[in-house]
Amino acid sequence: MEASGAIIREHGSDAVRSIFAVHRHSPVIDALARTPRILDRARQILGSEVYIHQSRINAMPGMVGTGFGWHSDFETWHAEDGLPAPRTVSLSIALTDNFAFNGGLMLMPGAHRVFVPCVGQTPDDNFRESLQKQKVGVPSDDAVTELGLEYGIEQFTGPAGHALFFDSNSMHASSNNITPYSRANVFLVFNSVENAPAAPYGAAAPRPAHIADRDTTPLTPIHNSEFA
């Protein structure tokens, strides 16, 4: 997987930060995404059949996790992947306990209704750097401040197995993790089949398939998996 670019490491460390396309590599995660308990909720939220635009495990390693700055996923998925509209929802499932203090996801509840224009142009092959530390396609500090003070901040915390759906236009971030408690979550990004990717709206070429899948075949349920 390393050679495919599916593994991203922490800046300044060998620790694994992200692994992409886990639903393609792992039958367990494929079955997880297709269990009706999960799949039917994604279909209900998006109002159509769905497929997986992106899947990943974000491992926020203990002591050295550098976190994720404030951003809306839709900004990148629109500009670099060509998703026409924010008809996309992420599911984060805790693989380890998510505490407030080990890089637990921060969100601004309600702020997904606000579109925050980002400054700058997308450089070619931006994903090679942005998956380690995102520098373009991110909102200004002023925009984050205004939004954060208006909507407030809540964290996704809970023991392993807890899960959260959040809108693709949610403004979210994670602080660093300097505790010994590593935090790992699997993210399944469901996109409506009626929102299939077009040419990127703000980049020269689409990102690789392991980061942004362009196969929009609807997911079919698995009724008798270990997750049912």
Neighbours of 11 (CB within 10 A): 12
Q: Which stretch binds its own copies (CB under 8 A): 51-59, 64-72, 116-124, 162-170?
A: 64-72
Question: Beta strand 171-174 with 88-94: parallel, antiparallel or unpaired?
Answer: unpaired
Asked if 60 is part of the footprint of its own copies (rule: CB under 8 A), the reply reads no
Separation between Cα atoms, residue 200 and residue 20, nearest integer Å: 20
Question: Beta strand 106-107 with 16-20: parallel, antiparallel or unpaired?
Answer: unpaired
Q: Please identify, using beta-carbon distances, which residue of 70 and 190 lies nearer to its own copies.
A: 70
Least distance from C-beta 60 to its own copies, angstroms?
11
Compute the Cα dihedral for 204, 5, 62, 161 and give only its sign. positive
Question: Beta strand 88-94 with 183-192: parallel, antiparallel or unpaired?
Answer: antiparallel
Least distance from C-beta 102 to its own copies, angstroms?
8
CB 40 within 8 A of CB 223: no
Q: Please identify, using beta-carbon distances, which residue of 165 and 181 lies nearer to its own copies.
A: 181
What does residue 193 show for φ and ψ, rounded to 5 degrees? -65, -15
Mention every residue, 6+ apart, whose C-beta is less than 8 A from residue 183: 59, 60, 62, 65, 94, 96, 97, 98, 99, 102, 103, 104, 177
Least distance from C-beta 100 to its own copies, angstroms?
3
Asked if 72 is part of the footprint of its own copies (rule: CB under 8 A), the reply reads no
Q: Please identify, using beta-carbon distances, which residue of 5 and 67 lies nearer to its own copies.
A: 67
**Per-residue binder mask for its own copies (CB under 8 A), 157-196, x = binder:** ----------------x-xxxxxxx---------------
Q: Please identify, using beta-carbon distances, which residue of 106 and 118 lies nearer to its own copies.
A: 106
User: Please, what is the Cα angle at 59 between 56 and 61, to 5 degrees?
Assistant: 165
Asked if 156 is part of the footprint of its own copies (rule: CB under 8 A), the reply reads no
Q: Please identify, using beta-carbon distances, which residue of 67 and 202 lies nearer to its own copies.
A: 67
Q: Please identify, using beta-carbon distances, which residue of 117 and 180 lies nearer to its own copies.
A: 180
Q: Please identify, using beta-carbon distances, which residue of 40 and 141 lies nearer to its own copies.
A: 141
Least distance from C-beta 214 to its own copies, angstroms?
33
Separation between Cα atoms, residue 30 and residue 41, nearest integer Å: 16
Asked if 106 is part of the footprint of its own copies (rule: CB under 8 A), the reply reads yes
State which of positions 9-48 bind its own copies (CB under 8 A): none
**Cα 69 to Cα 132, 135, 137, 170, 210, distances in angstroms:** 11, 9, 11, 13, 22
- Residues at the interface with its own copies (CB under 8 A): 62-63, 67, 69-70, 99-101, 103-104, 106, 141, 144-145, 148-149, 153, 155, 173, 175-181
